[in-house]
Structure 1
Amino acid sequence: MNDCLFCKIVTKEFPAEIIYETGRTLAFRDIKPQAPTHVLVIPKEHHADAAALAEADEGLADDVLKSAHAVAVQEGVAGDGYRIVFNTGPGAGQTVFHVHAHVLGGRALTWPPG
């Protein structure tokens, strides 16, 4: 996807504070954090949303979740708890259409947010 911001982060055409990387995933800090820890975890392959990720090749969604947990451990929020959020579609608040998991932690996370 030539115009996809996250694809450009994967190829290093656009800067991001990358904090974790595997052969299939990349994690970087959100530019508008909603919690002390707010990291986005993406597959390096372009898939528009969580539904597309679920239909992708065997194991890719698993790799994204494993990377999200690894980020939580690395960031020191795994012990107290953290949230993983996928927004799918504009009605759910998705603004970049390259699937991404938000890893949020570092403070009490209430529901609904506010």
Structure 2
Amino acid sequence: MTYTLLEEQFFPYPWCQRLLRGLNEEARKKRIEITQLTNLEEKPSEFGCVLLIGATSSWVNTMAEKARAVGLHPIVMTNRQPGASPFPFSSVMMDIQGSMQLAVQYLHALGRDRLALYGVNPLAA
């Protein structure tokens, strides 16, 4: 069984919604059932893996530890290198820097030279 668990503050963001849509579309193609969890306090009905989607190192590390405790293999999906953790987990990182470079190149190709980055995650400091 595959589960997802989201860091709550990121759920309404468009990037999070796109990521969830993409996961669900690919899972449906491969006939994999994905169940969204709201917490890891309850023991899942089946063992498997949990996709932890978030960006705060403390949340990622705490949830990875809890996932292991209930018998799930944590796979962290994040936009930055997860902090040091004594608990092993797999990770998939989004290439934010590469994405921004492609966006800037595209806008330059359209003749747009006055660019600004707006809406940076305040927790990313």
TM-score of the two chains, using structure 2 as the length reference: 0.29
The structure with the largest helix share of the pair is 2
Q: Which has the higher contact order (CA 8 A, sep 6+)?
A: 1
Taking structure 1 as the reference length, the TM-score comes to: 0.31
